[in-house]
């Protein structure tokens, strides 16, 4: 059973990449899988347009037991960030505490006391959605807009993540590639490039169909490995992830969004013999308008799916409505 069965076949992607020429490979994929203009000149939703009320309603029908699962990692100092691009782990500090209240230091009447807190964090420090303004291709942002007209120091003036606020609830599908194609622990090795065939055979093994408007969650097992072994280079180092060659599949399936349990969604090191950086992002975000999630924790959900054999569910993963943000932390909730 393939994702293609329910709709026109996606454009065929090249079987092989020219590993010496990332710019050409990216350009080819960008041209082949662009969605610029597909939803009009003023679009700010990208592939979230595929997530229609009808498809959301269909997703709701998957709630059969009422069990809820959080797919969020913890937000705290014990995170993977090491400062690359000034990304730190979240710094959570208290404005008021129980020790203060107990010591009688708060000055409130009738015995009330309180605690309050503050956070400072990069919006992409942990479990997150990338906004459409997160990545540019040769100075162009999603839907053919100039990057310089879209994201300034004031934030994303056009496609800020606040536009996603009400949209990210729908049918969720877990593709546990780690379990199907990985080692005995259900983990893919770092550097493993997940192909279209891997995705389709995983769906087949799960007896689940990928449909337009879906929010896919791809489990590689890398996060589980960090839980066991420590963060190591999770934030930017080698990792399993999607191959650039999956761009056509991502386009053709008409999924609304896709998230992984890795830092960077796509395989790392990237699939070129010359300097390259996140080529699938460059195709998917500015050209395809694909909504990408990273650093999710699918472990509890994956264990449940493995136990009951049901890999589809209702998924709500609402970003914070931060005006002009190009990313947002999120606590995705799957309900089965």
Interface residue with a second copy among 89, 222, 245, 287 (CB under 8 A) is 89
| Per-residue x/- track, 258-287, a second copy (CB under 8 A) | ----------------xxxxxx-xx-----
Interface residue with a second copy among 57, 183, 227, 308 (CB under 8 A) is 57
Query: What is the distance between the alpha carbons of residues 134 and 285, in angstroms, rounded to a whole number?
Result: 8
Rg of the Cα atoms in the chain: 20
Which residues 6+ apart lie within 8 Å of 239 measured at CB?
Answer: 190, 191, 220, 222, 262, 263, 264, 267, 268
The region of 4-12, 187-195, 227-235, 317-325 touching a second copy under the rule CB under 8 A is: 317-325
Choose among 171, 168, 167: nearest CA to 63: 171
Interface residue with a second copy among 1, 6, 11, 120 (CB under 8 A) is 120
Residue 28 binding a second copy, by CB under 8 A: no
Q: Which residues of 151-164 are buried (b: 16+ CB within 10 A; e: fewer)?
A: beeebbebbbbbbb
Residue 73 binding a second copy, by CB under 8 A: yes
By C-beta, is 113 or 191 nearer to a second copy? 113
Number of residues that bind a second copy (CB under 8 A): 118
Residue 2 binding a second copy, by CB under 8 A: no
Interface residue with a second copy among 10, 46, 80, 155 (CB under 8 A) is 155
- Supply the minimum distance, in Å, between the C-beta of residue 196 and a second copy: 22
Which residues 6+ apart lie within 8 Å of 108 measured at CB?
Answer: 114
Residue 146 binding a second copy, by CB under 8 A: yes
Interface residue with a second copy among 22, 221, 240, 252 (CB under 8 A) is 22
- Supply the minimum distance, in Å, between the C-beta of residue 49 and a second copy: 14
Residues belonging to the chain: 336
Residue 43 to residues 35, 37, 49, 145: CA-CA distances in angstroms? Answer: 11, 8, 9, 11
Interface residue with a second copy among 26, 199, 239, 302 (CB under 8 A) is 26
- Supply the minimum distance, in Å, between the C-beta of residue 71 and a second copy: 9
Is residue 219 within 8 A of residue 261, CB to CB? The reply is yes
Q: DSSP label at 97? A: -
Query: Which strands make up the sheet holding 312-316, listed edge to edge?
Result: 68-70, 333-335, 312-316, 169-175, 215-218, 257-260, 291-294, 128-130, 327-329
Query: What is the distance between the alpha carbons of residues 147 and 300, in angstroms, rounded to a whole number?
Result: 38
Query: What is the distance between the alpha carbons of residues 43 and 157, in angstroms, rounded to a whole number?
Result: 13
Interface residue with a second copy among 118, 184, 229, 309 (CB under 8 A) is 118
Residue 64 binding a second copy, by CB under 8 A: yes
Residue 80 binding a second copy, by CB under 8 A: no
Residue 165 binding a second copy, by CB under 8 A: yes
Residue 86 binding a second copy, by CB under 8 A: yes
Residue 321 binding a second copy, by CB under 8 A: yes
Interface residue with a second copy among 124, 195, 262, 287 (CB under 8 A) is 124
Is residue 259 within 8 A of residue 215, CB to CB? The reply is yes
By C-beta, is 9 or 146 nearer to a second copy? 146
Residue 228 binding a second copy, by CB under 8 A: no
Q: Specify the residue for token string 């420590």.
A: 230
Residue 257 binding a second copy, by CB under 8 A: no
Residue 150 binding a second copy, by CB under 8 A: yes
Residue 143 binding a second copy, by CB under 8 A: no
Which residues 6+ apart lie within 8 Å of 183 measured at CB?
Answer: 189, 221
Residue 244 binding a second copy, by CB under 8 A: no
């Amino acid at each position: 059973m393939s994702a293609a069965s329910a709709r026109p076949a996606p454009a065929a992607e090249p079987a092989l990449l020219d590993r010496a020429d990332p710019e050409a490979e990216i350009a080819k994929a960008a041209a082949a899988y662009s969605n610029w203009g597909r939803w009009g000149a003023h679009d700010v939703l990208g592939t979230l347009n595929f997530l229609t009320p009808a498809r959301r309603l269909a997703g709701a029908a998957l709630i059969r037991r009422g069990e809820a699962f959080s797919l969020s990692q913890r937000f705290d100092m014990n995170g993977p960030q090491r400062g690359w691009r000034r990304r730190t782990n979240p710094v959570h500090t208290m404005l008021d505490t129980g020790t203060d209240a107990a010591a009688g230091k708060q000055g409130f009447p009738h015995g009330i006391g309180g605690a309050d807190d503050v956070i400072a964090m990069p919006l992409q420090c942990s479990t997150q959605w990338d906004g459409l303004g997160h990545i540019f291709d040769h100075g162009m942002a999603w839907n053919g807009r100039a990057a310089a007209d879209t994201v300034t120091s004031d934030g994303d003036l056009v496609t800020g993540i606040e536009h996603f606020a009400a949209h990210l609830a729908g049918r969720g599908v877990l593709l546990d590639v780690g379990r199907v194609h990985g080692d005995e622990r259900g983990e893919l090795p770092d550097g493993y490039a997940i192909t279209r065939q891997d995705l389709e055979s995983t769906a087949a093994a799960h007896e689940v169909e990928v449909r337009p408007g879906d929010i896919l969650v791809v489990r590689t097992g890398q996060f589980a490995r960090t839980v066991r072994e420590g963060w190591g280079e999770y934030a930017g180092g080698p990792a399993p992830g999607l191959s650039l060659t999956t761009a056509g599949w991502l386009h053709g399936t008409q999924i609304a969004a896709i998230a992984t349990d890795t830092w960077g969604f796509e395989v790392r090191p990237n699939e070129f013999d010359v300097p390259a950086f996140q080529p699938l992002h460059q195709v998917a975000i500015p050209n395809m308008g694909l909504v990408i999630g990273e650093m999710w924790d699918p472990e509890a959900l994956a264990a449940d799916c493995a136990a009951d054999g049901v890999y589809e569910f209702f998924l709500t993963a609402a970003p914070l409505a931060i005006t002009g943000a190009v990313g947002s932390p999120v606590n995705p909730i799957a309900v089965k």
